[in-house]
Amino acid sequence: SAYASLESAEDGEADEELEGGWAVATVEQRTASGEANGKRWVRTTKGLWLAQQDVSPARPSLFQGEKVDDGRLDFAWVLSDRASVWATAPASTAAPRKDKPSDARARFQVVRIREESGRAVRIGDAAWMLASDLARPRVAPVPAGVAGKDERWIDVDTASQTLVAYQGTRPVYATLVSTGLSARGAGDATPLGIHRVWVKLLASDMGNVEHEDGEPHYSLEDVPYVQFFDNAVGLHGTYWHGDFGHQRSHGCVNLSPLDAHWMFDFTSPHLPAGWAAAYPTSIEPGTLVRVR
């Protein structure tokens, strides 16, 4: 139950009903006057009051991608919670391993790739991992539309669930993303193609509560660092999950909050201090984003 004021909260007459799992942005906590038990309330950016006991704090992922100083994408991220490491390469590209792992790597750990051999990669002098346990960014050709040799652009690879930021032909940053969950249907798959950022928003609300098609409703307030590039599909920060490296979204390209902030500063148009939104201009066009 959500209330327009603390007075109506004390009366118990709800002004709105919010569904479980929805996200609200809160700006204030207060104990209502006359509350003998000290019941706490929180106020949202929309001016609604909720009982503090009815909400739990979001805990955004602290994952962050890698700056690429030498232009080489010779690394990968571990995708599973505990991925096995073997002392030798597999004898066959198809046969399952019968020897025991010598070590393990944790999820999101970065490993340097020295060699690839079929379904395995070597990450050390005597350390091999299955390629299927890793997400590796790859250098991609410059798409049509990138003119200047130092023009900045973004490449999103839906197969590997990775994103690479470029200046001309040189990769400068790489990270994991979560694109649209194609298993839900074509409507949720991130659209492929070459686009340009058409607006940047410091924060934006997202949801589908106006739809009455039977799909479960979701509502997310103050999604940070939003960059729309194909109608309502865009890059943005994600505070409600940390499942980067796997498809998860309703069509957008989900980034960790730290990565979204980095990308927001990297792309154009730039957002002046104190502004909430910026549109491209002829002097500063929107950054090109390719999804493949």
pLDDT tens digits for range 130-140: 999 999 999 99
Distance of CA 277 to the CA centre of its chain: 20
**Residue 213 confidence (pLDDT):** 63
**Residue 280 confidence (pLDDT):** 98
Neighbours of 81 (CB within 10 A): 10
**Residue 97 confidence (pLDDT):** 75
Query: Which of the residue ranges 34-43, 75-84, 191-200 would you say has the lowest mean pLDDT?
Result: 34-43
pLDDT in tens, 173-200: 999 999 999 876 667 899 999 999 999 9
Distance of CA 255 to the CA centre of its chain: 2
Residue 215 three-state SS: coil
Judged against a pLDDT cut of 60, whether residue 126 lies above it is answered with yes
| 5 within 8 A of 49, measured Cβ to Cβ | yes
Distance CA 58, CA 241 (A): 9
- For 115, half-sphere exposure in the C-beta direction (CA atoms, 13 angstrom radius) is 9
Percent of the chain at pLDDT above 90?
81
- Mean pLDDT, the chain, as a whole number? 92
pLDDT in tens, 64-75: 999 999 999 999
Q: Which tokens go with 257?
A: 């909050």
Distance CA 2, CA 174 (A): 41
For the chain, the farthest-separated pair of C-alpha atoms sits apart, in whole angstroms, at 74
Query: Which of the residue ranges 130-134, 214-218, 247-251 would you say has the lowest mean pLDDT?
Result: 214-218
| 76 within 8 A of 64, measured Cβ to Cβ | no
Judged against a pLDDT cut of 60, whether residue 24 lies above it is answered with yes
pLDDT band at 212 (very low <50, low <70, confident <90, very high): low
